[in-house]
Amino acid sequence: MTRPVIAIHGGCGVMAKLDLSGADWADARHGLGEALLAGWRTLNEGGSAVDAVEAAIVIMEDSPQFNAGHGAALNAGGIHELDASIMRGADLGAGAVTLVRRIRNPIRAARALLEQGSPVMLGGPEADNFAARSGLDMVEQSYFTTERRVASLASLKAKALEGTLKSASEAEKHGTVGAVALDIAGHLAAGTSTGGYNNKPEGRIGDSPIIGAGTYARDGVCAVSGTGAGEFFIRHAVGHEIASRIAYLGESLAAAAAYVIKSDLASYGIGAGIVAVDAQGNITAPFNTDGMFRGWIDADGNLFVGTHADVSSVLL
């Protein structure tokens, strides 16, 4: 029997430490901890890696602290268009939804597609309709909206008019949540969910719903979930690339992930980060921004959470 592990991220490019109160940072760390514990309990009760990934991401989709579900980014038209995907390492089964506007928990819709088997991806109104037919919770657009995202959209629009968009922080622009897990049967899974980036063009699709880019899992190799500038994750097929470096070059999980994030993507000057776990239960979470919301519970049951460079151990 394999000792289970789980790792999550809540997006790279987190705000400067002084931009939020101590209570706000505590809320963010609490949200990470709650998501980790939801996935961990699932694994320890004999649930699959897919079950654990879904459970952890639902918690983050329901939290206003993260850019997914409630609290998601707004596009240039002031609309929430959400993306999510999930992948099962045992058979490379996957499900993804994109440009959805009414699904409370897009990761649940991605899971429903995974279980259905085909198609792998649905987008727009048909994805919303599929979720409704599947009995998933449906909401109005206002459910996703928070004051923080409205303020970020206004700030980015103002900077666009001033020609100062390059000065915008990663926190203003991006944000994603994701989870990876290894279960007691030795199976891997990965999932990712996002509202995209603030002020994104209407209809824009990033890497989060793209299997092999923002989400990838292959038993015996690794599971990966990414966060950052999605266009570059798509071009480099980041999740698949990390798995390929392990499978074909024999690199360790940490070496493969670090190379892709800090070498392949470094020349673009974009924010990027991932969480990943391999078949032996090793965990890595490299990023190239000032910080990344992240956390994991290792094979010994130790819980860790971090926002910036520091990582704190939390007693279970």
Q: Are 20 and 307 in contact (CB under 8 A)?
A: no
The answer to whether residue 192 is catalytic is: no
Q: Give the closest residue to 239 by CA, choosing from 96, 54, 136, 112.
A: 96
Q: What angle do CA 186, 257, 199 make, to 5 degrees?
A: 110
Q: Give the closest residue to 183 by CA, choosing from 89, 36, 46, 32.
A: 46
Cis ω before 119 (30° cut-off from 0) = yes
Dig out the tokens for 59 from the structure: 């918690």
What's the rounded Cα separation, in Å, for the pair 248 and 200?
36
Instruction: Supply φ then ψ for residue 62, to 5 degrees.
Output: -85, -10
Which single residue is written with the structure tokens 């622009």? 173
Among candidate residues 42, 145, 176, 307, the one labeled active-site is 176
What's the rounded Cα separation, in Å, for the pair 284 and 304?
12
- H/E element, 99: strand 93-100
Q: Are 281 and 49 in contact (CB under 8 A)?
A: no
Q: List, by residue number, the catalytic residues.
A: 176
